[in-house]
Amino acid sequence: MRVISGEHRGRSLAAVPGTSTRPTTDKVKESIFNMIGPYFDGEWALDLYAGTGGLGIEALSRGAAKAIFVDRDNKAFNTVKQNLKTLRLDEQAEVYKIDSARALKVLSTRGVQFDLVFLDPPYAKQKLEQEIEQLQQLHMVAADAWIVTEHDAKLTLPEQIGMCEHYRCSTYGDTRVTIYRYIVEGDS
């Protein structure tokens, strides 16, 4: 695994030891950022099921100002911290060892709004629709935010979840990426 583009292009990322995580492949990561970017200018990113931190780190490398990484797995938490330190991105990042539902509640109290949200939970434990609804209810998504979901190819998500409109969907083997855009009424 590596950083695909931007300031840290070509740098390697450590993998989470064991088989508890399913990292996003470089091919899928490149496709995601070609669809939503490819570059950014000061956005805030949330990598809710961080694993290695690859998606949030990619956003930082491409110009995001800040990324918050969340993973309840101790090995993943340590891997994200290691990858951020190796790339000297510590100052632009926060890493939390907490489950996703609690993380959203805690982060919402800070009034943070995210421009980029990455949701790549374990396939067997996905609650993508509920999490996208919760992000909106807690006012955690900025106008025109991108919400990127990675899930089992057999799962089809709805065209609209609250004010998040389906933007694009692509399948890569047994993985499907569904991207939403948070559209505030009156935006066009």
Return the CATH number at 125: 3.40.50.150
The yes-or-no verdict on residue 1 having pLDDT over 90 is no
Summarised one tens digit per residue, pLDDT across range 171-188 is 999 899 999 999 987 654
Residue 129 resides in a domain: yes
Cβ burial, residue 172 (10 Å; 0-12/13-18/19+): middle
Q: Report, as an integer, the average pLDDT of 57-73.
A: 96
With H, G, I as helix, E, B as strand and everything else as coil, classify residue 7: coil
Residue 54 resides in a domain: yes
Q: Report, as an integer, the average pLDDT of 82-100.
A: 96
Residue 173 resides in a domain: no
Task: State the helix-helix crossing angle for 26-36 and 54-61, rounded to 10 degrees.
Answer: 50
Q: What percent of the chain has pLDDT over 70?
A: 98
Residue 78 resides in a domain: yes
Residue 166 resides in a domain: no
**pLDDT score for 187:** 55
Residue 37 resides in a domain: yes
Residue 93 resides in a domain: yes
Residue 32 resides in a domain: yes
Domain total for the chain? 1
pTM, to two decimals? 0.93
Q: Is the CB of residue 121 less than 8 Å from the CB of residue 152?
A: no
Q: How many CA atoms lie within 13 A of 107 on its CB side?
A: 31
Residue 114 sits in which domain range?
A: 1-13+22-143
